[in-house]
């Protein structure tokens, strides 16, 4: 078996660093041939010196010289800037893209990789939230797989292996409920940044951790699932499962339910996506059924966590609304992480932006780019008021 060259777009984030751990474990199967980061030049340099990729990209052009000089003694090509990310995705020095850039910024490199018929291990849900119909149509035309890395979508994907001819009745995405499960608005109004970043079960980057705390992450996952698995909105359900042992479920038309289970560890879905269809042995900690444990489920509180309700509305209406939703949320979460708005203001900003930006039922890719920009500008204006 030849070594599969992985282009890790977003190598210094939570998914990227864990993917490199997987690659370290299986050097006979994988290599890291492209590494990219937006700001963390120090970690990018460290990764490049260890893994010897063919190409690295630093998004912040002001840090290009630092990276270039640090890698001057190597044969690694160094590029910088947003356009360089697309250019890197357009090279032939990788066999599979791990799309792990956070947020909307991951869309254009992923589109470029699909153009070149590169298989995608997708950890960037925003790509499908913003332009799911276009992305999936391109993937079908190029006959390349998009294998989900998100634990919930990986779970659904795994449950569907071998079930190609069997009709799905519904899928059930599980959510831990985040650090504020059961809390009400009178508590949430006083939530600070550090408290919101304390996820009970998963170790994740700041953006997705805040999205989990507001339940926006689950709304984005619902939209992603629609496109990944060719589902109708009414076929996608969410249930709160605080233990995070069942990562998601599929109910088939005969009433049977398949669930994918395991202890919370993102390296497992990363490894599964990189090696698919092979399962690789590992020493990850196993769930022990012999130890007493209770798995519980409850309905999400849509009145308190209105971000999920707004996302469900965007899922049902479609068009450019998910794109607007995502853009507003990215600006709002960034403002919250900078302590410029309160926790409940995130939802307020998203709702106002969704109601403000013009709706387009059948947007082109260019119209989605425009909608994204309009939504970001309007949401940013709300922070400045």
CB 105 within 8 A of CB 118: no
Calculate the average pLDDT of the chain.
94
What's the pLDDT score for residue 208?
86
Residue 63's SS3 state is helix
**Separation of CA 115 from chain center:** 20
What's the pLDDT score for residue 147?
97
All residue ranges of the chain with pLDDT < 50 are none
List the beta bridge partners of residue 172.
237, 249
Residue 135's SS3 state is helix
Six-digit token pair at 106? 């991951």
Residue 343's SS3 state is helix
Q: Could you report the per-residue pLDDT of 26-67, keeping only the tens digit for each?
A: 999 999 999 999 999 999 999 999 999 999 999 999 999 999
CATH of domain 163-263+300-384: 1.10.1740.10
| Count of Cβ atoms closer than 10 Å to residue 249 Cβ | 22
CB 168 within 8 A of CB 229: yes
| pTM recorded for the entire structure | 0.93
Domain boundaries, the chain: 4-148, 163-263+300-384
Strand 246-252 relative to strand 257-261, pairing: antiparallel
What's the pLDDT score for residue 194?
84
d(C-alpha 143, C-alpha 342), whole Å: 45
| DSSP 8-state class, residue 277 | T
Helices (H), ranges, 232-305: 267-275
Residue 26: C-alpha distances to residues 23, 35, 189, 191, 358 (Å): 5, 18, 46, 42, 49
Which CATH fold topology does 4-148 show? Rossmann fold (3.40.50)
Residue 94's SS3 state is coil
What's the pLDDT score for residue 202?
61
What's the pLDDT score for residue 1?
61
E-state strands within 92-141: 96-99, 120-122
**Element spanning 251, H or E:** strand 246-252
Q: Could you report the per-residue pLDDT of 114-168, keeping only the tens digit for each?
A: 999 999 999 999 999 999 999 999 999 999 999 999 999 999 999 999 998 999 9
Q: What is the dihedral of CA 202, 150, 379, 315, to 10 degrees?
A: -130
CB 12 within 8 A of CB 60: no
What's the pLDDT score for residue 21?
97
What's the pLDDT score for residue 198?
80
């Amino acid at each position: 078996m030849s070594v599969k060259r992985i282009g890790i777009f977003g190598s210094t984030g939570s998914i990227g660093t864990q993917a490199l751990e997987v690659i370290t474990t299986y050097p006979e199967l994988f290599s890291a041939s492209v590494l990219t980061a937006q700001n963390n030049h120090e970690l990018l340099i460290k990764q490049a010196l260890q893994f010897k990729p063919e190409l690295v990209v630093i998004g912040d052009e002001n840090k290009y010289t630092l990276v270039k000089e640090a890698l001057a003694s190597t044969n690694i090509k160094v590029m910088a800037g947003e356009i360089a990310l697309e250019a890197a995705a357009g090279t032939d020095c990788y066999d599979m893209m791990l799309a792990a850039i956070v947020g909307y910024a991951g869309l254009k490199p992923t589109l470029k990789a699909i153009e070149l018929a590169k298989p995608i291990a997708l950890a960037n849900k925003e790509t499908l939230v913003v332009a799911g119909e276009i992305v999936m149509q391109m993937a079908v035309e190029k006959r390349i797989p998009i294998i989900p890395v998100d634990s919930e979508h990986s779970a659904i994907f795994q449950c569907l292996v071998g079930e190609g001819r069997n009709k799905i009745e519904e899928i059930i995405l599980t959510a831990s409920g985040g650090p504020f499960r059961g809390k009400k608005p009178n508590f949430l109004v006083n939530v600070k940044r550090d408290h919101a970043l304390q996820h009970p079960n998963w170790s994740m980057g700041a953006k997705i951790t805040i999205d989990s705390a507001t339940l926006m992450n689950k709304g984005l996952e619902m939209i992603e699932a629609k496109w990944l698995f060719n589902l109708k909105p009414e076929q996608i359900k969410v249930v709160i499962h605080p233990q995070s042992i069942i990562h998601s479920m599929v109910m088939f038309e005969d009433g049977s339910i398949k669930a994918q289970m395991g202890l919370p560890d993102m390296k497992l879905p990363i490894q599964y996506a990189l090696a698919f269809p092979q399962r690789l042995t590992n020493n990850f900690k196993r769930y022990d059924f012999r130890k007493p444990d209770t798995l519980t489920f409850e309905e999400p509180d849509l009145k308190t966590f209105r971000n999920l309700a707004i996302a469900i509305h965007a899922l049902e209406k479609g068009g450019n609304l998910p794109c607007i939703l995502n853009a507003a949320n990215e600006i709002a979460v960034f403002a919250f992480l900078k302590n410029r708005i309160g926790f409940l203001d995130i939802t307020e900003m998203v709702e106002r932006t969704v109601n403000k930006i013009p709706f387009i039922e059948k947007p082109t890719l260019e119209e989605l780019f425009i909608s994204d920009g309009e939504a970001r500008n309007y949401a940013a204006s709300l922070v400045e008021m």
